[in-house]
Amino acid sequence: MRSRFGIRLFSAGGFDNRSLLNAILLLDASAFPDDRLAFLRSMTRLHTMVAAGALAVLALSGCRSVSPPDAAETAPRTAPGGQRQESVRAAPGRPAAARPARDRYREVQVDEPVVAITFDDGPNPRQTPLLLDILKERGIRATFFVVGRSAAAHPAILQRMVAEGHEVANHTWDHATLGEAGSDETRRQILMTNEAIRAAVGKGPVLIRPPYGRTNPTLDRWMARELGLTVVLWSVDSSDWKHRDPIRVQAEIVRAAKPGSIILAHDIHATTVSAMPATLDQLQARGFRFLTVSELIARDRSPRIGQ
């Protein structure tokens, strides 16, 4: 019994209050003979004193009890193709108070008929300007999850997006499947894209959509805490990349949209862009208003979690 407490209290992770509490609760709940109980209680008091002393030393030396994921300080200095570039500093991240309630959104809980329409994989020099014309005619603002490589090639399209009230967000450098939180490649994909957006429009993004929606809670948390990026997936999938049929794009979106929906489409397909006038007109006729994803998240009425 003693050795078990000893192992629990002095385990590799250091001292922790929960093990201590468990040990005390176990002692109180046990029906030991009085002398053994007294001995164990005195051992627990001794452990408490040693643990408190050790915690004080750790606190004074500035140790943290839980190691964060590998912090993203800089991106690699070599761009794809071997081109040298300046090191990219990580975004400082939003202060905790300004962070959304969640690290990841598929849709947003709202009380009003508002939705966000999002376009991935651009900017595309042919299709994106046509789409921007369609949105402008209707006074609709959207969110563009851009691929960093294309953003760097077409900064003027990003500038037009921002000038017309749209939100520009991160969709990795070359549409990579993101890997482990803090890994060199994940960091490079994200930070180079942040930098391409910042270079074009003077301000980095606050949202990211991992390609194929492939992410996990550890990655979400790392992106939120270390990079100040909230993960945005979708609740309405137009499947436009698959069927390339304007009638189906329109039908899928109009059928599935509800208050708080985040709608997924791609501004690299002519069929998607040609579906938009009728799609947007029908949604507006049904009373929906369009917000950028950040505006929609700002209206989130769900309780705060994951903080």
Active site residues: 120, 266
Distances (CA, A) of 305 to 100, 228, 229: 10, 16, 16
Whole-number minimum distance, CB 268 to Ni ion, in Å?
9
Residues 128 and 55: their CA atoms lie apart, in Å, by 57
Contact call for residues 202 and 187 (beta carbons, < 8 A): no
Decide whether 19 or 230 has the Cβ nearer to Ni ion.
230
Whole-number minimum distance, CB 233 to Ni ion, in Å?
11
Is 120 a binder of Ni ion (CB under 5 A)?
yes
Report residue 18 as tokens. 């929960």
Half-sphere exposure of 86 (CA within 13 A, CB side): 6
Whole-number minimum distance, CB 293 to Ni ion, in Å?
15
Q: How many residues bind Ni ion (CB under 5 A)?
A: 3
DSSP 73: -
Residues 189 and 171: their CA atoms lie apart, in Å, by 9
- CB under 5 A: which stretch of 18-26, 114-122, 216-224, 239-247 binds Ni ion? 114-122
Per CB under 5 A, the list member of 107, 121, 167, 195 interacting with Ni ion is 121
- CB under 5 A: which stretch of 67-75, 110-118, 210-218, 268-276 binds Ni ion? 210-218
Is 167 a binder of Ni ion (CB under 5 A)?
no
User: Angle 238-244-250 (CA atoms, 0-180°, nearest 5)?
Assistant: 45
Decide whether 103 or 120 has the Cβ nearer to Ni ion.
120
Whole-number minimum distance, CB 232 to Ni ion, in Å?
12
Is 211 a binder of Ni ion (CB under 5 A)?
yes
Is 267 a binder of Ni ion (CB under 5 A)?
no
The torsion angle over the Cα atoms of residues 158, 162, 163 and 165, rounded to 10 degrees, is 140
Residues 169 and 52: their CA atoms lie apart, in Å, by 47
Decide whether 20 or 190 has the Cβ nearer to Ni ion.
190
Residues 67-106 as x/- pattern, contact with Ni ion by CB under 5 A: ----------------------------------------
Decide whether 36 or 214 has the Cβ nearer to Ni ion.
214
Decide whether 120 or 240 has the Cβ nearer to Ni ion.
120
Is 240 a binder of Ni ion (CB under 5 A)?
no
Whole-number minimum distance, CB 6 to Ni ion, in Å?
53
Contact call for residues 72 and 227 (beta carbons, < 8 A): yes
Decide whether 170 or 292 has the Cβ nearer to Ni ion.
170
Alpha helical stretches, state H, the chain = 2-9, 17-29, 34-60, 127-138, 148-153, 155-163, 184-201, 217-227, 240-243, 246-256, 270-285, 293-298
Residue 187, classified by CB atoms within 10 Å of its CB into exposed (0-12), middle (13-18) or buried (19+), is: buried
Whole-number minimum distance, CB 193 to Ni ion, in Å?
12
Residues that bind Ni ion (CB under 5 A): 120-121, 211
